[in-house]
Structure 1
Amino acid sequence: MSPLVEPGFTRESRVRNLERLRHESFDVLILGGGINGAGIARDLVMRGSKVALVEQRHFASGTSGKNSQLIHGGLRYLKQLEFRLVRESLRERATLLKLAPHLVTPQPFLIPLYGWARRWFYGTGLWMYDMLAGSGNIGRHRILSRTEVEKIEPGLAREGLTHGAVFFDCQIHSARFVLENIWDAARAGAAVANYARAERQGEQVTVTDAISGESFSVRAEKLVDSTGAWANEERLRLVRGSHVVVPRLNSSENAIAYFEKSGRIIFVIPWGSSRQLSLVGTTDVDHDGTPDDVRISAEEREYLLRIVRMLFPEAKDIQPISTFSSLRPLVRSHTRSATRTSREHRIWMAADGVVHVAGGKYTTYRAMSEEAANLISAVPSTTAHSPLGGNTQERIDALFSSVAQLAAQYRITPEEAALTVRHYGVQTARLLDSLSQQPGAGLSRLECAQIAFAVEHEMAEKLADLMFVSTYWGYERRWTEQTVAPFAAEMGRQLGWKEQRVSDEILSMPR
């Protein structure tokens, strides 16, 4: 699928899509604009189905945008003997590398091994990981001596360090990846709308536009519930995963993967627009509250910082720049441990004909989407061979090869040009063409262009949509009214907000 001149994912198209939802009939209505809903919408519309999708907030504003930012096979699941899950995840990792080479990129991981027995244990596990990846392997693991580990990461704790290992998985901008799926579905004809809350009573579905307050009924032959933690399903176990963002700890470009004795894995990942930060996570804690109130606990925060201080002794005084948390809607099992609860998914059609999607991993979203779509359409899926938005490897390679030329043409730095290619792929020229000669106060020309792109082409309606979905700027700086004000002012200028609305948006930002 190649990008169209006029994308179907704009501010104007949201209004048109709501009118379509009000007046037209659809083959399928999908509830939920996270990665699963986005993937199912893309799959079905590419099969020729007439598809609508509604999301009560902004796309990717929940779990799908607030995770460890990885596409991975799940090395730790080998310890739980979940070979099928790991094999499927590794297969999908290879597929996503081909479908979105700008957003999904190989990432080396360094495992520091403390204790002689761990070399053999993890060496065996990594060998199995490579074997299960098969032809989709992106790099074979290596066992390192203590000296090699110290050379790669001199800041790591040395007491008890005996060996290390390097293996490979992938990094992703998970929120933008969801937007790409939604964008593709919209360009192919799906009617998509954010800030549209759906309520179901029997066979009738009522959608309320949170912007205008208007409500109306939607007609669809089939309904898909991919609302995740909001599904109100008794068979779901809501497990909270929290992260802290800290100043860069990694000396090398390797992420650190630290395995606790409990089987939990903590990542310290180079992160941020210019890789100036480290993303640390994640936790596994049962969540007792509502899906609308998810935040890191004091215990989780201290737990992650304790791991950081143990791994990097010189970081004993480090404090988070930001934190974020989300819920994993896992399928309930008999295990008491949240960490050991399986990440296997379940998809079923209920007696009332509604298709439900539960559990699973972000990495396997495409396969899950295909499985769900198969319950609705007999037309074969084509998503495994259709690059997102036309972002083929050849086109992305050509864009990265032209970074210096782009920088000179648009008078930006090579680093800014590379960042644009990495986040926007074949839409790079569209974004750069909107560069202003007079950026807003306190902002760069590129930042202003990104704000314009989020508003015009990504249905960003609120400041949080810009800061935590279209970009991760909200996580990359310590939150104060002063740091956020320039972004709010520029977004407000483009959307015609009054001064009070700008202030309200700043105050409503998650802290």
Structure 2
Amino acid sequence: MTSATPSPLPTRRVDLLARLAQPVQYDLAVIGGGATGLGVAVDAAARGFSVVLIDSHDFAKGTSSRATKLVHGGVRYLAQGNIALVREALHERTTLLHNAPHLAQPLPFVMPSYRFWETPFYGIGLKMYDALAGKAGLGATEFLGKESTLKCLPTARAEGLKGGVKYWDGQFDDARLALALARTAASLGALVVNYCPATALVHDNGKVAGFVCRDAVGGQEFTVRAHAVVNATGVWVDGLRQMDGEATGRPVTAMVAPSQGVHIVVDREFLPSDHALMVPKTADGRVLFAVPWLGKLILGTTDSPRQDVVREPLPFAEEVRFILEESARYLSRAPGVQDIRSIWVGLRPLVKPQDDDGDNTKSLSREHTVLASRSGLVTVTGGKWTTYRAMAEDVLQKCFTSGLLPEKPAGVTNSLSVVGAPQGKVTHRISDAQGMHSYGSDAPFVQALAGQSSELGGGLTEAMVRFAARYEYACTVEDVLARRSRMLFLDARKAIELAPAVAAILQDELGTDPALQDFLALAPQYLHVPA
């Protein structure tokens, strides 16, 4: 295992923008700072390419901070017979757990059985899951009796319980992993800048040659030139594709049909266990999870079509009702609306079948799609967090086969630890309440800052906020309370309470407006339960 950097790099925005202003032609420019775009930046920089990445908002502001927090091989794909996809995801699961052990770890799941046929039926499928994982397996699948099931899930509904099946997958902290990838790319020489939206694409003789972007904080515009430009904007990829099509006079067919997933967070007392509960088939055929995470319990998720692609989607009333009602079928004490600590929604970029619109399209798996337009704009969308690294390799391969970059060998990120990955054994669990453990080997640097003994609340210290401002690209109160700390996603009321103190520290560190009022307007949405 190689280490990306032994100490944190400063992320002063004035320095980042000064680099962005330099008249440099990069090998690769990435638009989009979610899981996929950051993975591409890390892979390209690790192979020795010069790389720049921008994001219109904060890193992982969109879908990539709103996952179900699972690192998984995709049990449901076994039933569909998609063995290749499961194998790929299981391999990537192992790689991720190995390269970011402080942010991604194994987690045991239990499927409770309330019909006699469920334990053998699902158990046999999960034994196949074990077989596909092989040496990459995290633990053997076990058939459980009623007593053992209740030991793992002490608040599961005992009435009618026949037994259960225990299997292993993984969980992680998505936003902090995204941040670690941004910092890893930077440690390898890449320039990564948040709050810098692309406003136009640059074309030379009908070919994409870069983009124009604008600093959302100060308003300065920059023109960035690159041999290859990657559109990794998730559910928003069609906006850039349309921009490309208009410039080249070619029609563009929409790629993405967004779907939204709702997650509800409640206190751990509703399932006081280090095991997750998984229901493979609910009343309407969906999957239900109850996952312990950072001291709370996540209930979800839904899968509802959505026509728009807003930055802060709100849940539909029927989605909240579905999650609470299904939870009541499996928990002895069901949470109600009054028990919700936070509720958040993520948009999934589901890829539509592509008509022949002049793009050279290749679907690399049922999970993600990479295509290159005639102008050379490389677009990637779909997929899931678990396979972000494999997606990055596919994107670079598309750059090679399209003649945009000279080919260099793949596999360099297989054993590349992210920034902060500790070298010794990790003793904490992602299910534990948030604290210093998420910093990994950076913890001593955090603890050396002023305010380490000054806790603001919920495990967040003054020193953590200062570290976020100096080394983690944080510009606003939301950056700190939603993605550097996960407070907004865990307990929105507590986040509102801490916001003024966080704003004061950011003001002291950065000397710019930390957008406190914007956060105080946003945070109540995470408590919004539609009637």
Structure 2 regions of 5+ residues with no counterpart? Answer: 242-253, 355-364, 400-405, 526-531
Deviation, structure 1 residue 504: 4.5
In structure 2, what residue type is equivalent to 1:251? P
Give the TM-score taking structure 2 as reference length. 0.85
Alignment of 1:22 with 2:21, yes or no, is: yes
Q: Look up the match of 1:310.
A: 329
Aligned residue for 2:344, secondary structure, equals: strand
Aligned residue for 2:266, secondary structure, equals: strand
Q: 1:308 to 1:491 in 2, by over 3 A?
A: farther
Alignment of 1:298 with 2:321, yes or no, is: no
Q: Look up the match of 2:75.
A: 75
Q: 1:360 to 1:438 in 2, by over 3 A?
A: closer
Q: 1:167 to 1:438 in 2, by over 3 A?
A: closer
* Mapped partners of 1:437, 1:299: distance in 2: 44
Does 484-493 or 187-196 show the bigger shift? 484-493
Deviation, structure 1 residue 490: 3.2
Q: 1:363 to 1:195 in 2, by over 3 A?
A: same
In structure 1, what residue type is equivalent to 2:504? A
* Mapped partners of 1:266, 1:321: distance in 2: 19
- Please, which of 269, 273, 276 is the counterpart of residue 291 of structure 2? 269
Deviations 1:340-381 (A, max 9, x none): xx8521112221111111211110010110121123341113
Deviation, structure 1 residue 466: 0.7
Q: Look up the match of 2:378.
A: 355
Matches within 5 A, 1:47-446: 47-201=47-201, 202=203, 203=208, 205-232=211-238, 234-248=254-268, 249-261=270-282, 262-272=284-294, 275=295, 277-315=296-334, 317=336, 319-333=339-353, 343-376=366-399, 377-381=406-410, 382-389=412-419, 391=421, 395-397=423-425, 400=427, 419-421=435-437, 423-436=438-451, 439=454, 442-443=456-457
Partners of 1:463 and 1:488 within 8 A in 2: yes
Partners of 1:438 and 1:445 within 8 A in 2: no
Deviation, structure 1 residue 495: 3.1
Q: Look up the match of 2:521.
A: 507
In structure 2, what residue type is equivalent to 1:355? V
Q: 1:504 to 1:225 in 2, by over 3 A?
A: closer
Deviation, structure 1 residue 501: 5.2
Q: 1:438 to 1:429 in 2, by over 3 A?
A: closer
* Mapped partners of 1:195, 1:188: distance in 2: 21
Does 255-264 or 60-69 show the bigger shift? 255-264
Deviation, structure 1 residue 5: 6.0
Partners of 1:34 and 1:64 within 8 A in 2: yes
Does 347-356 or 325-334 show the bigger shift? 325-334
* Mapped partners of 1:457, 1:361: distance in 2: 27
Deviations 1:300-348 (A, max 9, x none): 11111111222113225453111111111122259xxxxxxx8521112
Deviation, structure 1 residue 396: 3.4
Partners of 2:452 and 2:463 within 8 A in 1: no
Partners of 2:62 and 2:311 within 8 A in 1: no
In structure 1, what residue type is equivalent to 2:276? A
Q: 1:501 to 1:280 in 2, by over 3 A?
A: closer
Partners of 1:463 and 1:509 within 8 A in 2: no
In structure 2, what residue type is equivalent to 1:259? P
Q: 1:188 to 1:294 in 2, by over 3 A?
A: same
Partners of 1:295 and 1:326 within 8 A in 2: no
Q: Look up the match of 1:484.
A: 499
Partners of 1:463 and 1:506 within 8 A in 2: no
Q: Look up the match of 2:510.
A: 495
Q: Percentage identity across aligned positions?
A: 33
Deviation, structure 1 residue 127: 1.1
Deviation, structure 1 residue 478: 3.8
Partners of 1:344 and 1:361 within 8 A in 2: yes
Does 257-266 or 121-130 show the bigger shift? 257-266
Deviation, structure 1 residue 484: 3.4
Deviation, structure 1 residue 115: 0.7
Deviation, structure 1 residue 497: 5.4
Deviation, structure 1 residue 164: 0.3
* Mapped partners of 2:62, 2:233: distance in 1: 10
Deviation, structure 1 residue 80: 2.0
Q: 1:362 to 1:343 in 2, by over 3 A?
A: farther
Structure 1 regions of 5+ residues with no counterpart? Answer: 335-341, 404-414
Deviation, structure 1 residue 165: 0.7
Deviation, structure 1 residue 293: 4.1
Alignment coverage as a number of residue pairs: 480
In structure 1, what residue type is equivalent to 2:3? S
Does 346-355 or 484-493 show the bigger shift? 484-493
Does 197-206 or 52-61 show the bigger shift? 197-206
Does 313-322 or 120-129 show the bigger shift? 313-322
Aligned residue for 1:291, secondary structure, equals: coil
Deviation, structure 1 residue 503: 3.9
Q: 1:343 to 1:61 in 2, by over 3 A?
A: farther
Deviation, structure 1 residue 445: 8.5
Deviations 1:210-249 (A, max 9, x none): 0011112111111001001111161222111110001112
Deviation, structure 1 residue 510: 5.8
Aligned residue for 1:128, secondary structure, equals: helix
* Mapped partners of 1:344, 1:309: distance in 2: 31
* Mapped partners of 1:193, 1:268: distance in 2: 35
Aligned residue for 1:245, secondary structure, equals: strand
Deviation, structure 1 residue 76: 1.6
In structure 1, what residue type is equivalent to 2:275? N
Alignment of 1:447 with 2:450, yes or no, is: no
Aligned residue for 2:339, secondary structure, equals: coil
Deviation, structure 1 residue 486: 3.0
* Mapped partners of 2:335, 2:475: distance in 1: 40
Q: 1:164 to 1:242 in 2, by over 3 A?
A: same
Deviation, structure 1 residue 118: 1.3
